[in-house]
Structures are given as structure tokens and as C-alpha cells.
């Protein structure tokens, strides 16, 4: 790991004050540090409104008059000292980029250098962690009541990272639903009626589908969407397209496969087969689960077997 870079002594940075630093020797400060008691908060000297805009109106002047907020002199934006989140101004909801600083035993302030770019698996894990945090917050507080700033703080990422990767809160919610959906489809996309018997493939799909949509987590998400969709129709559309709609499309694709056609009565379209199978599978169970405060789970295997038996009895070619 690269050695830390010396910035100053703790005594050189008065409590409640800020100071800029130029560790690269570029001739312009690229980061600044704010002291609050025994704690230090370091950030890049770049306003998120425009990434290349220095923030201080004169050197070291990064705070407002009473020292309670970081201020961007160019745009008038105010940021919280403890997490860099913008609380007023044109970049509301975004955050400053944190810079790791530390104090050694001799009272020296050092910039901690990163050991290099994170590995692909580390980036992937951080993304999964972010999606997990967002899902838990959406379920606990509701989509409308969770700010991007709250998610960023809980996940320990910058809000701008969420904007860059997902485009905003709605895109992050879509990723939450897509993550749940993809868990169901793992190792299933490569399987087709040409590689596996259709009844076995449908049994596998139905078992996974039922396990997904009737879990307490899935029920909680559905309840949230139902409660908020009237005020936010786009939320309902994103939920359907990324979740149920995508799963229905996958099932319709199975029925549209050439080797599936001979298994069913003539005149039934893949879309009709999809609607009928899901009706047999779900019945009113999802509605009961949505309404019951503590949903009880039935015998999933029995439910799947009964649904497929009813489905093939009516739609199967021998019926």
C-alpha cells in the first residue's frame, strides 16, 4: 500500500476551521480538510454541480460564516460537514467526494493513498451492497420517504456514484427489482424446451416464481408499490417492467419455442398459455398474502404440482 502523504499538523488546523491542500504539487489545492473537535473530514475541492469548479472564494475559505456548513462560493451550495451531502443549492441531493485522511500518534494529518483501482469483483460487490441497502430502506420507509442522500449515507457511497450508475433513485429501484428477478432466472435462461423436457422446465420455473413473489420481502415490496403507485405511476411501471413483466415475457418465450407448440391445444397463443399458467399457479394466494399482516406460507411443491396438473389438463394437447 502506498505511504500516506503528509498534509499538516493537527495543531495547524484550528477547531471549526478548514484548510486546502495541494498534495500533487499542481499549484492549486485539490482537496480540503475540515476540523470539528478531534474529527477531520476530507473532501475533493470540486463542487458536484460542476466537477471542475474550485469551491473556496479565497484559499482555505471553505466554510460559511458560522462554520456550520461547507460552502461553494461559485454556486452558493451548502454541504454538511460530516458527510458532504448538499442541503441547499443547485446540487441538492448530491455530495462532495470524500477523501480519506488520518491523524498519526504524533498529531500529523496524512492523506491515505489508495492502493489502486478496485478490482472488478470488488466493484460488483459494492454494487450489490448498495442495491441491498436501497431495498431495505425502500421496504422500511417507502420509496417516497427515502432520499438518495439517505441511501448514499447508509451504503457509504457518494450520491453522485448512484447518479452515475443508475441515473437516480428510480433507476436504483429498478435495479432492486431486477436483482430479485435475476435470482429467479439464474441458470434458467440457457435452458430451452429443446434441451430439457417442457414439464420439468415449467415445474422449475413455477417453483422459482412462487418462491420469489410470495416471500415476505417480495410481498413487502409489492405492498409499497401498490400504496405509492397512484401518486407515482412511473414507480408502478418500472416495478412491472423490471419484475412481473420481464418474468411473464420469459415464460411466454418458453411457450413460443418451436418444440413447445406440439404440447398444447391448437389455437392457444403463447400469451394465453402464460396467463392461464400463472392464474393456475397464483390463484388468489398473492392477494391473500398482500392483505394478511403476517402471511403464512403453504406447501410450495404441492401448489406447483397442482397448478401444472390443472394447466395441462385444460391446455394440454390430449385434453
Q: Tell me, yes or no, if the pTM score tops 0.75.
A: no
* In the block, residue with C-alpha cell 442522500: 149
Section 264-279 average pLDDT: 93
Distance in angstroms (rounded) separating the CA atoms of residues 79 and 286: 45
Instruction: State residue 232's pLDDT score.
Output: 95
Tell me which DSSP letter residue 4 carries.
P
3-state secondary structure of 177: helix
Instruction: State residue 190's pLDDT score.
Output: 62
Section 174-181 average pLDDT: 91
60 CB contacts (<8 Å, ≥6 apart)?
17, 18, 19, 20, 32
Give the model confidence (pLDDT) of 9-34 as tens digits.
Answer: 999 999 999 999 998 887 788 899 99
Give the model confidence (pLDDT) of 132-161 as tens digits.
Answer: 899 999 999 999 999 988 998 888 777 888
Q: Which residue has the higher pLDDT, 90 or 52?
A: 90
Instruction: State residue 305's pLDDT score.
Output: 92
Do residues 66 and 60 touch, judged by C-beta distance below 8 A? no
Distance in angstroms (rounded) separating the CA atoms of residues 12 and 280: 73
Domains and CATH numbers, the chain: 5-111 (2.102.10.10), 124-315 (1.10.357.10)
Judge whether residue 1 has pLDDT over 60.
no
Judge whether residue 44 has pLDDT over 80.
yes
Do residues 41 and 82 touch, judged by C-beta distance below 8 A? yes
Do residues 165 and 131 touch, judged by C-beta distance below 8 A? no
- Nearest CA to 245 out of 309, 307, 174 is that of 174
pLDDT band at 174 (very low <50, low <70, confident <90, very high): very high
> Which of 64-68, 161-165, 239-243 has the least mean pLDDT?
161-165
Q: Which helix (H) or strand (E) holds 310?
A: helix 300-315
Half-sphere exposure of 27 (CA within 13 A, CB side): 0
Strands (E), 28-97: 31-36, 39-44, 69-71, 78-80, 86-88
Distance in angstroms (rounded) separating the CA atoms of residues 81 and 89: 15
Q: Which residue has the higher pLDDT, 69 or 190?
A: 69
Q: Which helix (H) or strand (E) holds 20?
A: strand 18-21
Do residues 31 and 43 touch, judged by C-beta distance below 8 A? yes
User: Please, what is the average pLDDT of the chain?
Assistant: 86
Section 94-101 average pLDDT: 90
Section 86-92 average pLDDT: 86
Amino acid at each position: 500500500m502506498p505511504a500516506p502523504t503528509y498534509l499538516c499538523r493537527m495543531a495547524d488546523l484550528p477547531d471549526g476551521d478548514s484548510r486546502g491542500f495541494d498534495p500533487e504539487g499542481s499549484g492549486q489545492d485539490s482537496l480540503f480538510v475540515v476540523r470539528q473537535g478531534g474529527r477531520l473530514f476530507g473532501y475533493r475541492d470540486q463542487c458536484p454541480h460542476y466537477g471542475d469548479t474550485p469551491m473556496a472564494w479565497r484559499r482555505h475559505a471553505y466554510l460559511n460564516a458560522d462554520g456550520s456548513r461547507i460552502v461553494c462560493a461559485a454556486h452558493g451550495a451548502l454541504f454538511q460537514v460530516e458527510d458532504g451531502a448538499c442541503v441547499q443549492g443547485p446540487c441538492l441531493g448530491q455530495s462532495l467526494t470524500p477523501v480519506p485522511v488520518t491523524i498519526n500518534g504524533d498529531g500529523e494529518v496524512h492523506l491515505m493513498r489508495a492502493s489502486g483501482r478496485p478490482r472488478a469483483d470488488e466493484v460488483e460487490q459494492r454494487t450489490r451492497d448498495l442495491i441491498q441497502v436501497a431495498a431495505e430502506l425502500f421496504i422500511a420507509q417507502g420509496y417516497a420517504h427515502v432520499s438518495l442522500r439517505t441511501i448514499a449515507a447508509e451504503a457509504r457511497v457518494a450520491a453522485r456514484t448512484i447518479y452515475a450508475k443508475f441515473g437516480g433513485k428510480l433507476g436504483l429501484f429498478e435495479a432492486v427489482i431486477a436483482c430479485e428477478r435475476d435470482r429467479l432466472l439464474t441458470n434458467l435462461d440457457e435452458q430451452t424446451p429443446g434441451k430439457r423436457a417442457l414439464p420439468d422446465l415449467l415445474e422449475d420455473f413455477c417453483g422459482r416464481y412462487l418462491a420469489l413473489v410470495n416471500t415476505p420481502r417480495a410481498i413487502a415490496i409489492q405492498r409499497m408499490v401498490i400504496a405509492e403507485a397512484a401518486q407515482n405511476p412511473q414507480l408502478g411501471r418500472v416495478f412491472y417492467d423490471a419484475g412481473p413483466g420481464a418474468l411473464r415475457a420469459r415464460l411466454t418465450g418458453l411457450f413460443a419455442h418451436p418444440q413447445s407448440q406440439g404440447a398444447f391445444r391448437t389455437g392457444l397463443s403463447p400469451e394465453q398459455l402464460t396467463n392461464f399458467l400463472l392464474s393456475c399457479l397464483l390463484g388468489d394466494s398473492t392477494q391473500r398474502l398482500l392483505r394478511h399482516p403476517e402471511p403464512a406460507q403453504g406447501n410450495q411443491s404441492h401448489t406447483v404440482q397442482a397448478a401444472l396438473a390443472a394447466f395441462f389438463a385444460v391446455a394440454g394437447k390430449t385434453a
